[in-house]
Chain A
Amino acid sequence: MKNFPSLVIVLLLLLLTSCKDDEVDVVAEEEARIEAHFDTLDVDVSRAESGLYAYPITQGGVPKAGFVLSISYKIWVLGADSATTSIRSLDTVVVKKNANAIYPIGIDEALSYMKEGEKWGFVLPSYLAFGNHSFPHVLIPAEATMAIEIELLEVRSETDVLDAEVKAIAAYIEDNQLRDTVNYPLNQPEMLTNGMVYKRLKAGTGATPQSGQFVSVTYEGRFLDGTVFDRAPNADVFEFYMGTGSVIPGFEIGVERIQLQEKALIIMPSYLGYRESAVVIPHNITSEVADLEIIPSYASKVPPYTPLVFEIEVIGIN
């Protein structure tokens, strides 16, 4: 009985050691499964310090400066049948690398392995993939090890992207005949030096909003292809303080020019909007990932490097 305290200490130490062992066991078990997976494949796999496994499928790409990548992918849960359960990209996915703008986080590191024109395979341990999050509707369980094949289609710089956006905006003006003074009699679209376009649709009265004023607006946000991604109707007006940087720069610059009761079209390149936004792979869990507060809500509405069109009416200035 006199040895009771030391006995308790020994038991506590054993308990702590066994807990630590459990954590190590889970990681080691997952790594063993990944190693076993590669034993059956004839690929030249390398393991990064982070735990990411990478192997080339098609090599010989061209090194190119720039951080804006266009990719396509195929992703599935390691161990599941890739032919029936994998999810493929619907369209080309644009992503900025090394910007912490893609989820799962392991893919950001994976992209640095690739050159333009190459295709690589990666295995993401659960801690680089979705962790303890599960997405049952796409058959991704919690603690899933993910396998992904990525093809890097194009590498661009942000300047290249901006040039393309400016051209797309110019084409939008032409396609929608914004210069047509019959349909839009008020005035011509005003091309601002920052790449934005301001086009008055309905005349207003009085002064324009100034910094520090509380402004109420209704708006409809669209992409250049006309798809509506967000709106604030009369029943649910949007209110904000001017000059506080609470909204995207393009929105504030646009509202600064709009008089009370005036309605105008504001078109902005992505650098005045949501820039690289955030990308989720696979694409069909983006809303759930936003709900989990892993990415901002806007990322579930606005893809990366997307010029935005806002039709805004200022209905109150205080």
Chain B
Amino acid sequence: MRRLFIFVCIFLMAYQWSTAQAQDIYRKYDIYRSPFRVLANKIGWTISTGYGATNYKHDLAGFYFYQDGETQLILSKQNELGPVFSGYQQWMSNPTPGEEVNLDDVFDVPYDYLENPVNNPLLKNRQFIGDADTLGLSFSSIASTVPVMVSAHYDFQKFRIGVGFQYEQHYMTPLKPSVYQEVIRPYEPDFKQTHYLKYFGMMGYEFYEFWDYTFVLEVQLGRAKPGKEINTSAIGIGQNFYTNIGVNIEQNLSEYFRVVIRPSYDIKSYVVNLPDASSIRHTNSAFMIQVGISINIPEIPRSPMASDHVQLKHVITDPASGRLMEVRGQPMWKKQNPKVGENHRRLWRYKLKNRRKIDPY
């Protein structure tokens, strides 16, 4: 599948290049253009970063939940509940057996007397145990996320295909319980931060254009690999697949340079297998908004002659090789082939404090 994809990409690029070569003006006048540049020009490169809100959530349906002053444990309801509770802690990232706990109220008869009994801090160490199905208990929180994405894409008519990767840093917050918040403490993940590495293939469709803005619906499909904080050996096989749906809003500053804003929604989850063969699914879908730039490498270089002040794309005789070559008169981020008055630089007299001065010089 991957080979076919690469083959199709190469074929399409070769087709484009050969089509470009066939444009008779270049052949007719023997104007040189670097084949590498012509090919590379077909690939759009995007780099972006921004902010995401990842909603870590898990439902404890099918589990008993236990809490005391020190620990929180879960145990699958496949197990029989006895006077001693032996459950698992840190079921979000690295499930390990917790210490066995006596389920009795240790401040009831005939347990020992307590000195200074009123408002004694030890009393707050009381146990809470419940059937999460009956309680309807789940935990969730929003983790701030900083994504950095690099992708490459190829546009074919209004369609887009591409590949890329994204690094995400997740800043964890305690997961709040959905019920009995006055009794059940938030679940504290045993890591403050983690990261995700995502590799994806991408498909898109340009569904709207407005002046120099382009709107592209993009779908990313790929693998999301969590950081070492989440014990990957406890995660079920094939559980790191993810989907992202977003809209690329691109402002085309030039034919080679775009500013991109990309709101998107990330759908992903993973399953943690507990040592007793039970499992629990954690969803960590995210809303993200990313800002970045997207470029296409220009198919022709800037004019090599410092004295060449031509503003448009034009043909020169290359002083080095003596052959005709097409060159640009603008940097890649500025509009190529500007009309009169476009791309004028802003004069110093109109910048900063000079705006207020009658005579800035």
Listed in ascending order, the chain A residues whose CB lies under 8 Å from chain B are 99-103, 105, 108, 219, 221, 229-230, 238-239, 245-249, 251, 273-275, 277-278, 293-299, 301-302, 310
Segment among B15-23, B117-125, B243-251 that sits at the interface with chain A: B117-125
Once bound together, how far apart are the Cα atoms of A298 and B126, in whole Å?
13
Interface string of B156-184 (1 = CB under 8 A from A): 00000000000000000000000000000
Q: Is the CB of B112 within 8 A of A294?
A: no
Which residues of chain B are near A230, meaning CB under 8 Å?
A: 108-110
Q: Is the CB of B105 within 8 A of A297?
A: yes
Is B8 on the interface with A (CB-CB < 8 A)? no
Once bound together, how far apart are the Cα atoms of A287 and B45, in whole Å?
69
Once bound together, how far apart are the Cα atoms of A310 and B110, in whole Å?
10
Query: Can you report 14 residue pairs joining A to B where beta carbons are below 8 Å apart?
Result: A103-B118, A105-B118, A229-B109, A238-B110, A273-B113, A277-B117, A293-B123, A296-B120, A297-B109, A298-B109, A298-B111, A301-B108, A302-B109, A310-B110
Q: Is the CB of B110 within 8 A of A100?
A: no
A105 in contact with B112 given A293-B126, A297-B107 (CB within 8 Å): no
| Shortest Cβ distance from A301 into B: residue | B109
Q: Is the CB of B118 within 8 A of A298?
A: no
User: What's the minimum C-beta distance from B225 to chain A, rounded to whole angstroms?
Assistant: 41
* B111, B120, B126, most chain A CB atoms within 10 A: B111
Which residues of chain B (104-146) have a CB below 8 Å from chain A? 105-114, 116-120, 123-124, 126
Interface string of B88-116 (1 = CB under 8 A from A): 00000000000000000111111111101
Q: Is the CB of B108 within 8 A of A246?
A: no
Q: Is the CB of A296 within 8 A of B116?
A: no
Once bound together, how far apart are the Cα atoms of A278 and B118, in whole Å?
7
A246 in contact with B117 given A239-B83, A293-B126, A294-B123 (CB within 8 Å): no
11 further A-B contacts with Cβ under 8 Å, apart from A105-B118, A293-B124, are A101-B118, A229-B109, A247-B110, A251-B110, A275-B113, A296-B117, A296-B120, A297-B105, A298-B109, A298-B111, A310-B110
Once bound together, how far apart are the Cα atoms of A221 and B110, in whole Å?
9
| Size category of the binding interface on chain B | 10 to 19
Which residues of chain B are near A296, meaning CB under 8 Å?
A: 107-108, 114, 117, 120, 123
Once bound together, how far apart are the Cα atoms of A133 and B333, in whole Å?
66
Which residues of chain B are near A229, meaning CB under 8 Å?
A: 109
With contacts defined as CB atoms under 8 Å apart, how many contacts are there between chain A and chain B in the complex?
Answer: 72
Which residues of chain A are near B126, meaning CB under 8 Å?
A: 293
User: What's the minimum C-beta distance from B248 to chain A, rounded to whole angstroms?
Assistant: 33
Once bound together, how far apart are the Cα atoms of A313 and B107, in whole Å?
22
> Of B83, B105, B111, B118, which is within 8 A of A247 by CB?
B111
Which residues of chain B are near A246, meaning CB under 8 Å?
A: 106, 111-112
Q: Is the CB of A248 within 8 A of B116?
A: no
Which residues of chain B are near A221, meaning CB under 8 Å?
A: 109-110
| Shortest Cβ distance from B123 into A: residue | A293
Which residues of chain B (62-108) have a CB below 8 Å from chain A? 83, 105-108
Q: Is the CB of B117 within 8 A of A297?
A: no
Once bound together, how far apart are the Cα atoms of A238 and B111, in whole Å?
10
Q: Is the CB of A295 within 8 A of B113?
A: no
* A251, A293, A294, A310, most chain B CB atoms within 10 A: A293
A298 in contact with B107 given A293-B124, A293-B126 (CB within 8 Å): yes
| Shortest Cβ distance from B83 into A: residue | A239
Once bound together, how far apart are the Cα atoms of A234 and B120, in whole Å?
33
Q: Is the CB of A102 within 8 A of B118?
A: yes
| Shortest Cβ distance from B119 into A: residue | A294
Which residues of chain A are near B117, meaning CB under 8 Å?
A: 100-101, 277-278, 295-296, 299
Once bound together, how far apart are the Cα atoms of A302 and B108, in whole Å?
10
| Shortest Cβ distance from B106 into A: residue | A246
User: What's the minimum C-beta distance from B125 to chain A, rounded to whole angstroms?
Assistant: 9
Which residues of chain B are near A278, meaning CB under 8 Å?
A: 117-118
User: What's the minimum C-beta distance from B107 to chain A, rounded to whole angstroms?
Assistant: 4
Once bound together, how far apart are the Cα atoms of A239 and B84, in whole Å?
10
Q: Which 4 A-B pairs have the closest CB atoms?
A: A296-B107, A297-B108, A230-B109, A278-B117
Which residues of chain A are near B108, meaning CB under 8 Å?
A: 230, 296-298, 301
Which residues of chain A are near B111, meaning CB under 8 Å?
A: 246-248, 298
Once bound together, how far apart are the Cα atoms of A301 and B105, in whole Å?
14
Once bound together, how far apart are the Cα atoms of A277 and B114, in whole Å?
8
Which residues of chain A are near B113, meaning CB under 8 Å?
A: 248, 273-275, 298
Once bound together, how far apart are the Cα atoms of A297 and B108, in whole Å?
5
Which residues of chain B are near A298, meaning CB under 8 Å?
A: 107-109, 111, 113
Once bound together, how far apart are the Cα atoms of A294 and B118, in whole Å?
6
| Shortest Cβ distance from B125 into A: residue | A293
User: What's the minimum C-beta distance from B356 to chain A, rounded to whole angstroms?
Assistant: 14
Which residues of chain A are near B116, meaning CB under 8 Å?
A: 99-101
Once bound together, how far apart are the Cα atoms of A297 and B120, in whole Å?
12
User: What's the minimum C-beta distance from A203 to chain B, rounded to whole angstroms?
Assistant: 23
* B108, B114, B117, B120, most chain A CB atoms within 10 A: B117
Once bound together, how far apart are the Cα atoms of A293 and B106, in whole Å?
12
Once bound together, how far apart are the Cα atoms of A249 and B123, in whole Å?
20
Which residues of chain A are near B112, meaning CB under 8 Å?
A: 245-249
Q: Is the CB of B83 within 8 A of A100?
A: no
| Shortest Cβ distance from A271 into B: residue | B113
Once bound together, how far apart are the Cα atoms of A219 and B119, in whole Å?
29
Which residues of chain B are near A277, meaning CB under 8 Å?
A: 117
